[in-house]
Structure 1
Amino acid sequence: MTTVRHGDTAIEVITADITTLKVDAVVNAANQQLKGGGGVDGAIHRAAGKARLQEACRAIGGCPTGEARITDGFDLPARHIVHAVGPRWKDGTKDEDDLLAGAYRHSFALAAEHAVRSIAFPAISTGIYGFPKDRAATIAVSQCLAAADSGKFERIVLCCFSSEDAEIHASALTREATS
């Protein structure tokens, strides 16, 4: 685990199952239809109670790439689930960086509106969506540092599925926090 203090906010990089974290909100790497898919999306849907979460997501009606929506956490330890839709990686010339940054920004904005003080993010878009992990980690960390500057968050967790991903995020956090 790597932790950096940025103002009054602790930014952590951990390797864990995001569905088990005791935070105010977890972020789901969602698809535009907000239907449970594979990876972290499927795990969150299963752990939260698939039927109730699907009903809540169906009521929202979807979410554009680069934005986020929020639901209750249902059976998760977290009160809320923020459903962030990151971009599919194409070649880096289709606004992928801006769309990924937007997914983080929208997630933080929704979280702040719902009085979330602690939030955990997966590595959005780095799984089946194919976003280069180093590049995604740098974007994630820069958005976390900006959110920490707002003073609205006590704890931001970058929750990685593998130790390799955690090392990439920890390196980005150390680099960006000291530059």
Structure 2
Amino acid sequence: MPTITLVQGDITREHADAIVNAANSSLLGGGGVDGAIHRRGGPAILAECRRLRAGHLGKGLPTGRAVATTAGDLDARWVIHTVGPVYSAAEDRSDLLASCYRESLRVADELGARTVAFPAISTGVYRWPLDDAARIAVETVKTAGTSVAEVRFVLFDDRAHQAFAARVG
């Protein structure tokens, strides 16, 4: 099991082998974490995303899956893009949210990444309740078979930090 650390701050300022992007399925940038990573990482990330879309991801990246690109100008080697589910009170999509973390760690293992920085996936515009998202994220990372040595959850504000801290223990 990787060491789990919590940081309150801006994920685009993290130094890690891989930074996880809470992307949309187009991979072409967006708001929130996605927009911040594309802005700070520069045009190299978007260029690789466009190549992926022109190739085997012509219809976009499916929810719960992950793919890596360069990290461009970020202080990392790679960005691992994953598409979180939109929260629904009528349908249990927690398996898709857990898959974002599992798939990102699988890609990190393929790359040889030892440190991975995650945002709180799906808790922004996708409206996943923060406490439940923290539970799913931490349980998934704790039970994932991975060679990653450190998983760092980089949380935007105090409320998110507290929700994750309650789960890490």
TM tier, shorter chain? over 0.9
| Runs (5+) with no aligned partner, structure 2 | 54-59
Residue aligning to 1:34: 27
Residue aligning to 1:144: 141
What SS does the corresponding residue of 1:43 show, helix, strand or coil?
A: helix
Aligned match for 1:52, one of 44, 53, 62:
44
Contact 2:63–2:84 (Cα < 8 Å) also in 1: yes
- One-letter amino acid of the counterpart of residue 58, structure 1: R
Residue aligning to 1:14: 7
TM score, norm. by length of structure 2: 0.92
| Runs (5+) with no aligned partner, structure 1 | 1-5, 175-179
Q: CA RMSD in A?
A: 1.2
Aligned match for 1:120, one of 110, 117, 129:
117
Deviations 1:18-37 (A, max 9, x none): 11111100000000001211
Q: Tell me if 1:161 matches 2:153.
A: no
What SS does the corresponding residue of 1:37 show, helix, strand or coil?
A: coil
Q: How far did residue 151 of structure 1 move?
A: 5.3
Which contiguous aligned blocks of 4+ residues in structure 1 show a shift greater than 4 angstroms?
A: none
Residue aligning to 2:17: 24
Residue aligning to 1:3: none
Tell me the percent identity. Answer: 43
CA distance in 1, matches of 2:4, 2:68: 22
Distance 1:54 1:60, change over 3 A: same
